Amino acid sequence: MKIMIAYDGSRNAKLALAQAITMFQELKPTLSLVAVAENPRDITASNEDLFQEELASLKKALQDALEMCVKEGISAESLLLEGDARKMLLYAAENKVQPNMLVIARHSEEPDGGFIARSLTYFVDELDYMTFGKVSSFLARRVQCPLLILPSC
């Protein structure tokens, strides 16, 4: 079984990876961790610096995730793409990985802050539950394999 996980190193992505390993470990899946660095729309020096930082951060996150898979005895590979996250994840699913299942985590900007930050996050999450995020909604309509959207915990 081949499972593709949209992975950006966020808290929710880490939880989704851990949940996917727990749920499917008995099936001895091969995990494909796919990250997408979004290109800046203009190429000013500051945007290029931010883009390079994002690339480095995603590479580190993918490496950490691969190490976690090795510790759990799961076969895994990673893929880092550049572009629009929605389109590149769909491209990876259809043309690169061709998974039996795509797993994504609900996006969250959840800070690990104090009471006020958590309260605001819960309020936004309640609004967010009414709909999928941009990437989830896009993929739910277009991807040609089963899609598992894992909620944040």
**For residues 65 and 74, what is the distance between their CA atoms, to the nearest angstrom?**
11
> What's the half-sphere exposure (Cβ side, CA atoms, 13 Å) at 24?
23
- 91's tokens: 């491209």
Give the pLDDT of residue 86: 92
* pLDDT tens, residue by residue, 114-125: 666 666 666 666
Q: Which residue has the tokens 């040609």?
A: 144
Kindly report the backbone phi and psi dihedral angles of residue 42, in degrees, each rounded to the nearest multiple of 5, phi listed first: -125, 160
The total of other beta-carbon atoms located within 10 Å of residue 66's CB is 17
Total-model pTM = 0.81
Percent of the chain with pLDDT over 90: 61
